[in-house]
Amino acid sequence: MLAIHAIPDAFTPAECRHIVDIAHAEEPAIAGLVGRRRDHNIRRAEIAWLDEREGAEWVMDRLIRLVAQANRDVFGFDLTEFAESAQVARYGAERQGHFGWHSDIGDGQVARRRKLTLVVQLSDPGAYTGGTLETWSGHEPVAADRTQGAAVLFPGFVLHRVTPVTEGQRSSLTVWAHGPEFR
């Protein structure tokens, strides 16, 4: 089985709420797919890129430390950079927010170099129904920890999804670490 690495307390609940506040201080964008394509049957969410939000610098610093430690302890990948900004996604019940099964390695120049994905649960798990992040690296899907502030890391080629949110809203923070393409 491929390594899926969990960090139960990557951020505090107060830090999670602060990240959501920073992300939503300005109007979010409609989420798309690699190559700027949109398909609401695959992905229905709103996103905010943290590099475009004032006061979010500390978030990326923390994410870099978390990825570096996990890569040393678990993955051992050749990582060279963070070529994309961290992204806060909002999946709302009003639109049955979701993201179907996919991997994070794509056809784009940057997306093809994604080595590790880190996802942080920003919402209180009692604030929504559905919206489960699932990874599929073995014989059946595995649900990620829904505890506010918990993080999960996995190789960019691992299939994963967010099930439809049926009540409330789920927010998450995602970043990708990049390196030479897998061989």
Please name every residue paired with 180 in a beta bridge, in sequence order, or none if there are none.
none
Q: What is the pLDDT of residue 161?
A: 97
Q: What is the pLDDT of residues 73-120, one digit of tens each?
A: 999 999 999 999 999 999 999 999 999 999 999 888 899 999 999 999
Q: Whole-prediction pTM value?
A: 0.92
Please state, in angstroms and as integers, the Cα–Cα distance from residue 153 to each residue in 42, 70, 73, 100, 175, following that order. 22, 8, 12, 18, 10
Name the residue among 74, 107, 108, 87 with its Cα closest to residue 45: 87
Q: What is the pLDDT of residues 124-177, one digit of tens each?
A: 999 999 999 999 988 899 999 999 999 999 999 999 999 999 999 999 999 999
Compute φ and ψ for 165, nearest 5 degrees.
Answer: -80, 125
Q: What is the pLDDT of residues 77-90, one digit of tens each?
A: 999 999 999 999 99
In the CATH hierarchy, which top-level class contains the domain 5-178?
mainly beta
- Grade residue 35 by pLDDT with cuts at 50, 70 and 90: very low
Domain coordinates in residue numbering, the chain:
5-178
Name the residue among 44, 37, 15, 29 with its Cα closest to residue 173: 15
Strand residue runs (E) in the chain: 5-7, 29-30, 43-44, 46-49, 87-92, 98-102, 114-121, 128-130, 133-136, 142-143, 151-155, 159-162, 165-178
DSSP state of 134: E
* Element spanning 70, H or E: helix 57-70
